[in-house]
Chains A and B, each alone.
Chain A
Amino acid sequence: MKLRSSMVIAACAAALAAAPAWAQFKPTKPVEFIVHTGPGGGADVLARFIAQVVEKENLAPVRFQVNNKSGGGGLTAMAYVAEKKGDTHAIAVFTGNWLTNPLTRAEAKYTVKDMTPVARLVLEPALVAVKGDAPYKTLKDFIEAAKKAPGTMKQSGGSITSRDNVVRQLLMKESGSSWAYISFPGGGERIAALLGGHVNMMVVEPQEAGEHIKAGNMRVIAQVSDKRLAGFPNVPTIKEAGYDIPNVPQVRGIVMPAGVAPDVLAYYEDLFLRITKTATWRKYLEEQQFEDGYMKSAELTKFFDVYSDQMRGILKEAGAKVVR
C-alpha cells in the first residue's frame, strides 16, 4: 500500500525534525475537531486525515476527536463553534461555504468574524471540461460559441453560490458572453449530465474527472488555478487562455472559537504549520491534486474580508439575495 509506506517515511521525517515546543500553552485533554459534514463528507475526510497525522507522528500530546455537527447547510457547526467562545480545546475545519453561506442566509446567527482564524491549509483547483467529442478545443472556442447563440449553451454545476457558478459569472462578464447554469445537487449527476450530452461544459475537480479524461470521454479546456497542475502541463489556466479573471479557489482551513489567549492561538498555528511540513501531508496534497494554501492567522483574517467582499459582489450579480 502506497499510503502506508509513505506514513513510515513521514514518521521518520517527523522524528528527525522534532519541533521545538516554544509555546507555553499545551492541550491537556482531547481536542474537539468540529466538521460541518457527516462522516464521509469533504471536510470530514480532511479532519480525520489530520487527526491521523497528528496521532501517527506524535505532533500533539493529546488526541484530536472528530465531531460531526452536520445540518443547517453548515450553519449548525458554525453556531456550535461560535458559542464555544473561550474554549481552548476546540478547532474546526472551515470551507468557502463558511464565508459565503452567511451572506445569503438570514437564519445565520454567526459569521467567521465570531471565530478565531487559525490557518488556511489547502486550495482546491478545478478544471473547465467539455465532453470528449465536443467541437470546442479551447476555452475561447466555447466562449465564442456561447456568444454566437446566447443562452443556448449550458453548464452543469452545484448551487448558485458554488465556485462553479462564480467562475461562470466572472467569465461571462469578462468576455461579454452568456450561457445557462443548471444546478444539480450531486457531483455524479453533474458529470452524468455532461457525459450524456445534456449540458456543454462543467467546472470539475481533477479527482472527479481523472478517469473520464483518461478514457477520452471528457476534455479539459482550461484550469481554474494560479499555475498549471502537475497532471495537466499542456492545458492553460484561465488567465493564460486570455481571460483575466481573479482565481477563485475552493479553500479549506482551520478556525477556533473567539476569545482565546494569544499563546493558545500561537500553539495551534504552529501545530498546523508542522503538520503541513510532514511528508504524509505533502503526499496527500499530491494525491488529491490540491495546492498548498498555507496561511497564518493574521493573513487569513485579511483573506476572510477580501474573499467575503468578492463573493458578495459576485452573488449580487448572480441574482442571489444578499443579507449581510
Chain B
Amino acid sequence: MEVLTSLGHGFAVAFAPLNLFWCFVGVFLGTVVGVLPGLGPAATIAMLLPLTFSMPPTTAVIMLAGIYYGAKYGGSTTAILLNVPGESASVVTCLDGYQMARKGRAGAALGIAAISSFIAGTVGVIGLMLLAPPLAKFGLSFSSPEYFALMAMGLAMVVLLAGASMVKALLAMLVGLWIASMGIDLFSDASRFTFGQSELLDGVDFVIVAIGVFALGEVFGNMEKRGEGTMLPVPKGLRNLLPTMAELKACRFAFLNGSIIGFIIGVLPGAGSTVASFISYGIEKAVSKHPEKFGTGVPEGVAAPEGANNSETGGAMVPLLTLGIPGSGTTAILLAAFILWGLRPGPLMIQDNPELFWGLIASMYVGNIMLLVLNLPLIPLFAQILKLREYFLYPIIFGISIVGVYSVSGSLFDCWLLAVFGLLGYVMRRLDYPSAPLILGLVLGDSMERALRQSLMMSQGDLGILVSRPISAVMLLLTIALLFLPLFRKANAWRIKAIEENG
C-alpha cells in the first residue's frame, strides 16, 4: 500500500506539464540516437548535460533517463530494416529481425520489437519499484567467480547459434575471443595484439565489428548477386505492417523471458544489455519447439532480445539508485549527472529524495507509453526505406555505417577497421561461417577472461573457487547441460526415427 501512495506522489510529479514535456523530449531524442548507429545514449547524455543545469533536478533526471531507455527502443529499427545494429544491444535483433524483413514482414518485426520493448520496459520498471533494495543486495553477492560462470553460460550459447556446422561456429567464436583480447591488459599493463599501433591500445570497438560484419558483409554479399533483383518485398496495406495475432501468440513466452532475464542481468553491475539479449535469445531457442527455424525470421527471435535489452534498463537502475554503483557507460554518466546536481544516489536516496525516486519511476511508466505511441506510427514510415532500389539503398547503408563508426571515436583508423571487418563479414558469408558466434565471443571474451583472472587472484590460484560458491556452481552446471543439448536433441531425433521405422 505504501508503494501505491508513493507511486501516486510520483505520478503527480511525472504529470507536471514541465516534466511531461521533458520526458517526451528525452524519449524522442533517445529514439533518434538509438536509430542512428554509432552515437549512443552515453555520449548524448554527456553532451546534453550542460543544458540541464537550468532545470530542476527531477526534471533533468527524467529527461536524461528518457534518453537512456528511449535509445533501446530505437536500436532495433536499423537492425531489422538494414541489418545495421543501431547500438550494441540490438546485434541479436539482427539475427531474426532482418530475416523477417527479407520475408516481407518488416512491419511485423518492428511492431513486435516495439511491443516487446514496451512490455519488458514496463516489467523492468515494476521490478525496480518493488524489488530495488533486496535485489541490490543480491547483485552484491555476485562477484568474479559468478560473473565467470555467467559468461561461460553465455559462451555456451554458441551451440545454439551454430548453423549447419558446429566447427565453423566454434572457429568464428575463437576469432571473436581473439579480437576481444586486443589492447592493454588491465592486470599487467602489457599490450596485446596491437601490432605496434597505438590506435589498437583500447582494443577494437564492438560497434565497428558488429556493423562491419553484419551490415557491410550483407551489402557486399548482395552486391555480388547483381541482376537478380534482390529488392526486399515491401509490406503493403496496414495489415501487413502490424504483427498478426499468431505472431504475437508465438511471442508470449519470449515477452516474459526477455523481461525477466533482462531485468536480472541488468541488476548485476558487471554484465550489460548485450549479454542479456544473447542469453534471452539462447533460452528462447533452447526451449522452442522449432529451434531449427531460429535465424530464418521467427518473431520470438526478435521479441526475446528486444525485451531483454529494454528491461535491462530498469534492472541497471537498481544498483545505480540504491547503491550508487553504475553498471555501464551510460549509467556511469547518469551517476556523474546526479552528483553534479548535488543528488547522491545510494542507500539513503529513497528516503532523502522520495520525490525524485518516485517521480523518476512514474516517468518511466509514462515514457514507455510515449515510446510505444511514438514508435508504432513510425513503422510504416520506416518500412518505406525498403522500397528504395538497391543502388540507392546500398550507398545509404554504407554512409550510415561509416558515419556511425566515425561518430563514436572521430578516428579514420576506425573507418579502415570497419572496411576490414566488412570484408571479413563478406568472406565469412561466402564460406558459410555464422557471424553471431563471432560477435558472442567478442562481447563475452574480455569480461570472461577478466572474471577468471580476478577469481584466481582471489583464491590464490585455486580453481576450486569456481565450483565452491553455490551460484557459480549452479550456473556452471547449466552451462554443461547447455553444451550437451544438441547431442541430446540428435539422440532424440534418432530415437524417434528408430521408433517410426520399427512401427
List residues of A whose CB falls within 8 A of some B CB: 1-4, 38-40, 44-45, 48, 52, 68-73, 75-76, 79, 104-109, 151-152, 154, 158-161, 180-189, 191-193, 195-196, 198-199, 207-208, 210-212, 214-215, 217, 315, 319-321
Contacts and interface: CB of A to CB of B under 8 A. Distances in A.
A39 B339 contact: no
Contacts of A182: 144, 454, 457-458
Contacts, number: 169
Interface in B387-411: 409-411
15 contacts: A38-B46, A39-B43, A40-B333, A44-B46, A69-B410, A70-B410, A73-B183, A75-B201, A107-B191, A152-B460, A180-B458, A182-B458, A188-B327, A192-B140, A215-B347
A68 B410 CA distance: 8
B431 interface: no
B199 A183 contact: no
Given A105-B191, A182-B458, 7 more contacts: A69-B410, A106-B191, A183-B454, A184-B454, A188-B319, A192-B270, A320-B190
Contacts of B335: 188
Contacts of A52: 50
B198 A76 contact: yes
| In the complex, the 5 A-B pairs of residues with the closest C-beta atoms, listed nearest first | A211-B346, A39-B46, A40-B46, A196-B140, A215-B347
B141 interface: yes
A160 B187 contact: yes
B346 A40 contact: no
Contacts of A315: 189
A185 B450 contact: yes
Contact of A211 (B199, B345, B409, B450): B345
A109 B198 contact: yes
Contacts of A158: 186
Contact of A180 (B53, B323, B450, B460): B460
Interface in B401-426: 409-411
Contacts of B43: 38-40
Which of B186, B345, B349 counts the most chain A CB atoms within 10 A? Answer: B186
A71 B411 contact: yes
B140 A72 contact: no
Contacts of B502: none
A34 B139 CA distance: 38
A320 B458 contact: no
B246 interface: no
Interface of B: 42-43, 45-47, 49-50, 53-54, 139-144, 183-184, 186-191, 194, 196-202, 269-270, 319, 323-327, 329, 331-333, 335-336, 339-342, 344-349, 409-411, 450, 454, 457-458, 460
Nearest to A209: B324
Contact of A188 (B269, B458, B460): B269
A198 B319 CA distance: 17
A76 B411 contact: yes
A3 B184 contact: no
Contact of A159 (B186, B327, B332, B349): B186
B325 A180 contact: no
Contact of B346 (A1, A79, A212): A212
Given A40-B46, A40-B333, A161 B339 contact: no
Nearest to B331: A188
A154 B458 CA distance: 7
Contacts of A79: 198
B347 A188 contact: no
Contacts of A152: 460
Contacts of A207: 339
B202 A217 contact: no
Contact of B141 (A3, A185, A196, A214): A196
A155 B266 CA distance: 25
